[in-house]
Chains A and B, each alone.
Chain A
Amino acid sequence: MQEAIKIPASLRRMVAESAVVVVGRRGCCMSHVAKRLLQGLGANPAVFEVDDKCEDDVLVELRAAELPVVFVGGRWLGGLDRIMASHITGELTPLLKQAGALWL
C-alpha cells in the first residue's frame, strides 16, 4: 500500500482528521445527495473533490466502483447505497455520534 501512493496526501490527511469525509467528483449530483443527507443529520462533512482526470486513480486506490464514497471516523463506510441503507436501518446515526460528527 505504501508503494503506489496515488491518493494525494491531502485526502489521507482529511480522512484522518475529519469525523466524516465525502469523496466525490467535482460537480457531481450524487456527491451532493451524500453531503445533504449527512448535513440533514447534523453532521458537517469535509468534502474532497476529485477532478475527472484523477477519478480513475482515486477509485483504484480506494478500491471503489464509483464515487461518491464516505469515510466516518477515519474508516471506510461505503458509497451512496451503503449510506442510504445504513441510515434506514438506523446504523448511521450511532456511527456518526461515535466519530464525534454529531453534537447533539
Chain B
Amino acid sequence: MMNSTSTHFVPSRRMGIYEPIHQMGMWVDFKGNDCLDASPPMILEVDPKLDNQSEDTSHGTVGPSHKYDQEASKPPKVLRRLAQNREAARKSRLRKKAYVQQLESSKLRLIQLEQELGRARQQGLYAGSALDASPLDYAGCTNPGIATFELEYGQWVEEQDRDLSDLRDALHSSETRDSELQKFVDDGLRHYFELFRMKAIAAKTDVFYLMSGMWKTSAERFFFWIGGFRPSELLKVLLPHLEPLSEQQCLDLGNLAQSCQQAEDALSQGMEQLHLIVGEAVAKQLGEGNYLPMVGAAIEKLDDLVRFVGQADHLRQEILQHILRILTTRQAARGLLALGEYFQRLRALSLLWSSRPRESS
C-alpha cells in the first residue's frame, strides 16, 4: 500500500523542486533516510515488544496500563529493554505523524506547482523561469503573495511586449508627432513604476524570493543586482542608441553616469556590511546545538534587506526619470524602445539556453 504512493511522485532530474518528495519515497521504500531519522518502519519495531510480552506471560498480563505494577518484579535488563521499546514506539508514532503531514503539504504543493506550470506554459517566453527553479526556491508556490506577484509580473511582461511593439511602429512611421511619442514615453515610464510598486509589496511578503530573481529568466538573473537590473548597466545599454547628442546632453549624461555609479557603490557596500552582520549573528557560538537565539537575532537584521530592495528600486526609478528629462522626446522614445528590447533579448536568450539539446550521458 505504501509503495503505491511513491509512484505518484515521479522525480524529474531537471525539476529539482520535486526532490523533497523523492526523499519521502525513499522512506516508503524502507531504505531508511536521514530526513526521517533513518529508521525502519513502525511495524518492525513493534515486534521486539511483542517478543518481550511472550517471554513475560508467566508473570501475568503485560499491557501498557500494567507496566508500572509489573516493573518492580523484572530484572533490570528486561526493564531497560521495555523502556527502550516504549521510546522507540513513541518515536515511530511521531515520525509517522510527521510523514503524513509532509505528504499532505506536498500534495498541496504539487497541485499548486501543476497550476503554475499550466499558467507558465500559457505565457510562453515567461515559462523559462518556473522550469529552471532550484530545489531551494520553491517558496513562491506556497506563498499566496508571491503567487500573486508572479501572476501579475507575467501580465506585466505581456503588456510590456505589446507596448514595445506599438512604440516601434510609432517610431518607424514618419507621421508620428512628438506629442504622441511623449505619451508613449510617459506611459512607458509609468509601466516601470508599476513594476517597482509590485516589487515593494512582494518584498514585504518574501524578500529572499525577490532577491533571488527567481521571478525573472536565467539570463536576466546573470546580470542581477539587489533585486533587479543594475542602473549603471542601463545607462551603458542606452547611451549608444541616443546619438546624436548635444554637448550639454553629453555633459549631463556623463554626470549622471558618475552619480549613478557612486550611488550604486554605496548600496553595494551597504549590502556587504549586511552580509557581514548577518553572517556574524548566525555564526555566534557554534557547536552548542541551541540555535534559536542566534537565528532570531539574524532575522531582525534581515529587515534591512527589504529596505535595500526599496532603495535599489528607488535608484532605478530616479535614473530612469532623470535620463528621460535630459533627452528630447524622440530620443527618450528610442531609449525606452532600446531598453525594452534589451530585456526581451535577455528573456529570449534564457529560453534558447534552457531548450538547447543536451548531451546524453
A interface residue numbers (CB < 8 A to B): 27-30, 32-34, 36-37, 40-41, 80-81, 84-85, 87-90
Contact = CB atoms under 8 A, between A and B. Distances in A.
B266 A33 contact: yes
Majority-rule SS of A interface residues: helix
A42 B194 CA distance: 35
A89 B322 contact: yes
Interface in B231-278: 255-256, 259-260, 262-263, 265-267, 269-271, 273-274, 277
A34 B263 CA distance: 9
B259 A36 contact: no
Contact of A37 (B256, B262, B308, B322): B262
Nearest to A80: B311
Contacts of A34: 266
Nearest to B261: A40
B315 interface: yes
Nearest to A30: B307
B262 A33 contact: no
A88 B322 contact: yes
A88 B263 contact: yes
Contact of B318 (A27, A29, A37, A84): A84
22 contacts: A29-B277, A29-B304, A29-B308, A30-B304, A30-B308, A32-B270, A33-B267, A33-B269, A33-B311, A36-B265, A36-B270, A37-B262, A37-B263, A81-B311, A81-B314, A84-B263, A84-B311, A88-B256, A88-B260, A88-B263, A88-B318, A90-B255
A32 B273 contact: yes
A28 B259 contact: no
Contacts of A32: 269-270, 273
Nearest to B265: A40
Given A29-B304, A32-B270, A90 B259 contact: yes
A87 B304 contact: no
Given A33-B269, A40-B265, A88-B319, 14 more contacts: A28-B304, A29-B274, A30-B311, A32-B270, A36-B266, A37-B262, A37-B266, A84-B311, A84-B314, A84-B315, A85-B314, A87-B262, A88-B260, A88-B322
Interface residues of B, number: 24
Contacts of B315: 84, 88
Contacts of B271: 29
Closest 10 CB pairs of A and B: A33-B270, A37-B266, A36-B266, A29-B274, A88-B318, A32-B273, A36-B269, A29-B273, A29-B270, A29-B304
Given A32-B269, A40-B265, A88 B259 contact: yes
Contacts of B269: 32-33, 36
Nearest to A88: B318
Contacts of B262: 37, 40-41, 87
Interface in B127-173: none
B291 to A, nearest CB: 21
Contacts of A84: 263, 311, 314-315, 318
A87 B318 CA distance: 10
A37 B266 CA distance: 5
Q: Which of B256, B265, B267, B322 has the most CB of A within 10 A?
A: B267
Contacts of A33: 266-267, 269-270, 311
Q: Which of B259, B260, B266, B277 has the most CB of A within 10 A?
A: B266
Contacts of A36: 265-266, 269-270
A87 B265 contact: no
A75 to B, nearest CB: 21
Q: Which of B259, B265, B271 has the most CB of A within 10 A?
A: B259
B339 to A, nearest CB: 17
A28 B266 CA distance: 14
A77 to B, nearest CB: 15
Interface string B304-333: 100110010011001100100000000000
Contacts of B270: 29-30, 32-33, 36
Contacts of A90: 255, 259
A98 B263 CA distance: 21
A81 B313 CA distance: 11
B210 to A, nearest CB: 17
Nearest to B312: A84
